[in-house]
Structure 1
């Protein structure tokens, strides 16, 4: 790689050289999420911000990016939790889930390249997908990429899928790695789900990069 091709190192990585735990929130904002679902999802995002920033270590080490669909948009680039501001999500369009997953994983690859250029250690990244539908585009290539990256050998990332009422759980199961099956959301318990996510990421952020961390069970927000 030539000098001109080296990734730009953002000033915040120079000022804060703590190891990073990147997390992409892959959020369905299709028309079917209109009404209470999108309202509760926005409330959950605010809870996520509050709980992450109440943990001093997570505030410095967890980085959050948001990709919404459809259409597929990078709504928020990677930012540390103390800087991240939850956007106000609105609904429109269909469910191009395959393209959204590809965009999220590309975003992760780019961020990992930036960490490496800056000499920043990082934890295994997280992707959290939330959807209430089924893919309206080709998704098998995206599923294959998830299976390749979220396995115990490569450990490129951890991919979690949450199905809201109406989600096609069988297609989500095809997309997810066999060892990490999708979870069905109980009602509209987004705030409880994001509390679980912030607690889990906080536990990771307090560990040493590369070590195994036991995650709390998804109780209180997942349907049996």
Structure 2
């Protein structure tokens, strides 16, 4: 039986995006099994990255390496006016803009995340294909996909 111990998260006024992207890449390398002649690999992970601020560390190299690896389907969300959606485009092509951070809007966003996970898990062949875009449901009102 697998067990999950959630990490302790604390708010500290910094956005260590570079450190987070390095940890994400390291996790892919260590935990995601690749397909080989002797084993079937894991599905391509679906990652949701949400930020409300600007990075406070060096993040560019980690972002470029992660995007080049194509190790996951990453959906980024620029939450609030302090987040730069164009910066997130350096990490992934799928970027959402969430200007309203009121509880009802956040609730709709996380409901959409759940629907996205469900819909993506039902289209396994598409998720496993390296260069195919994932099939996401339309975002709820108040959340825009950044072109």
TM normalised by structure 2 equals 0.72
2:77 matched to which residue of 1? 162
Kept after mapping to 1: 8 A contact 2:64/2:91: no
Confirm or deny that 1:198 pairs with 2:114: yes
Kept after mapping to 1: 8 A contact 2:32/2:41: no
Cα RMSD (Å): 3.1
User: Aligned partners of 1:140, 1:65: CA distance in 2, in Å?
Assistant: 30
The superposition leaves residues 57-83 of structure 1 with CA deviations (integer Å, 9 ceiling, x where unpaired) of: xxxxxxx997xxxxxxxx2xxxxxxxx
The superposition leaves residues 111-138 of structure 1 with CA deviations (integer Å, 9 ceiling, x where unpaired) of: 214998xx56532112211111111111
Q: List runs of 5+ in structure 1 lacking aligned partners.
A: 1-10, 13-63, 67-74, 76-86, 151-155
User: Aligned partners of 2:33, 2:53: CA distance in 1, in Å?
Assistant: 32
Compared with structure 1, are the counterparts of its residues 198 and 121 closer, same or farther at alpha carbon in structure 2 (3 Å cutoff)? farther
2:62 matched to which residue of 1? 142
User: Aligned partners of 2:35, 2:26: CA distance in 1, in Å?
Assistant: 14
User: Aligned partners of 1:104, 1:147: CA distance in 2, in Å?
Assistant: 12
Kept after mapping to 2: 8 A contact 1:124/1:158: yes
Q: Which of structures 1 and 2 has the bigger CA Rg? A: 1
1:106 matched to which residue of 2? 26
Kept after mapping to 2: 8 A contact 1:97/1:136: yes
User: Aligned partners of 1:160, 1:127: CA distance in 2, in Å?
Assistant: 6
Compared with structure 1, are the counterparts of its residues 107 and 65 closer, same or farther at alpha carbon in structure 2 (3 Å cutoff)? farther
Shifted more, 158-167 versus 201-210: the winner is 201-210
- Secondary structure of residue in 1 paired with 2:114: helix
1:42 matched to which residue of 2? none
Q: List runs of 5+ in structure 2 lacking aligned partners.
A: none
Question: 1:161 deviation in Å?
Answer: 1.1
Kept after mapping to 2: 8 A contact 1:162/1:183: yes
Shifted more, 209-218 versus 137-146: the winner is 209-218
Confirm or deny that 1:219 pairs with 2:135: no
Following TM superposition, where does structure 1 have runs of at least 4 consecutive aligned residues deviating by more than 6 angstroms?
none
Question: 1:204 deviation in Å?
Answer: 2.2
2:96 matched to which residue of 1? 183
How many residues get paired?
A: 134
